[in-house]
Amino acid sequence: MKTASAPVLALALALALALVLPFAAAPPARAQEAPGPATLTVSAEGVSRRAPDMASLSLGVITEAPTAGEALRLNAERMTRVMAALKRAGLADRDLQTSGLSVSPQYDYPNGQPPALRGYQAANQVTATVRDLARLGPVLDASVGAGANSAGQVSFGLADPLAAENAAREAAVKALKAKADLYARATGHAGVRLTALSEGGFVPQPRPMMKAYAMAAPMAEAAPTPVAPGELNLSITVSGVFELVK
């Protein structure tokens, strides 16, 4: 009987190992993981409409004089009368807040010549909060009658906006759910399940404003000031993440 030579045995062993080792080293096969449920991210806006119940107005006094001290003195005298008139019109101390006070030089600019100092201007601005809109017109008239000759704008608002904000939140959530349901139906899903919700913030849209007096007019010649509060639109945006249900 012939026996295989050593080189032949070595070659046979190498071939056997080459065939066996790949199977021994290969990791066991794993079942393919199923994909997770599809998700949807959407946002929606809710709006609540309310009639305003308060207003803030900016008014003040501007005076000019040859010196800064004289301009301030004249301004203080007139503003004292304006503040007293506002209080007589029904505003409390907490409803009056100084919002600006300044003294600045005033120049003339003749053609071809250097600027010439004309004098000084003092300006005192106050923000008044009117909590009864029926008093808004009389307050404006009283301030001008007492010497206010500078006014900005009247802005309307709500003393307690929480109820209106919450109504906007409820409207936003309903709109969000309706939008998510629409996407679910359009993509062949049975429905949605909310997994996350966030609020984008509260925005009054817009705050109605009306122009106040630009300059004082003689009260004997002026008709009572009409006031139109209009309507406030309070808007809140919410965003949600939904799981699409088969």
CA dist 158 to 90, 140, 231, Å? 19, 20, 11
Q: Given this model, what pLDDT does residue 136 score?
A: 92
Grade residue 204 by pLDDT with cuts at 50, 70 and 90.
low
* 83-121 per-position pLDDT tens digit: 999 999 999 999 999 999 999 999 999 888 899 999 999
DSSP bridge pairs for 100: 125
Grade residue 213 by pLDDT with cuts at 50, 70 and 90.
very low
Q: Given this model, what pLDDT does residue 95 score?
A: 96
Q: Given this model, what pLDDT does residue 7 score?
A: 59
234 in Cβ contact with 48 (< 8 Å): yes
Find the mean pLDDT for residues 188-206. 85
Tokens of 142: 């009283």
Burial class (CB in 10 A: 0-12, 13-18, 19+), 78: buried
Q: Given this model, what pLDDT does residue 100 score?
A: 93
Alpha helices in the chain (DSSP H): 6-25, 68-88, 136-145, 162-186
Please report, for the chain, the start and end positions of each structural domain, with discontinuous segments joined by +: 52-159+219-225
156 in Cβ contact with 119 (< 8 Å): no
Distance CA 73, CA 79 (A): 10
Residue percentage of the chain with pLDDT more than 70: 77
- Domain 52-159+219-225, second-level architecture: 2-Layer Sandwich (3.30)
* 17-52 per-position pLDDT tens digit: 555 555 555 555 565 666 778 999 999 999 999 999
Grade residue 167 by pLDDT with cuts at 50, 70 and 90.
very high
Q: Given this model, what pLDDT does residue 128 score?
A: 96
Distance CA 238, CA 47 (A): 11
Q: Given this model, what pLDDT does residue 24 score?
A: 54
* 122-163 per-position pLDDT tens digit: 999 999 999 999 999 999 999 999 999 998 788 999 999 999
Coil, strand or helix: which one is 119?
strand
Coil, strand or helix: which one is 112?
coil
Find the mean pLDDT for residues 193-211. 73
199 in Cβ contact with 114 (< 8 Å): no
Tokens of 178: 């309706």
Coil, strand or helix: which one is 244?
strand
Find the mean pLDDT for residues 11-16. 54
Find the mean pLDDT for residues 219-242. 83
Decide if pLDDT at 246 tops 70: yes
Q: Given this model, what pLDDT does residue 54 score?
A: 95
| Average pLDDT score, the chain | 85
Decide if pLDDT at 223 tops 80: no
Measured in residues, the chain has a length of: 246
Element housing 146 (H / E): none
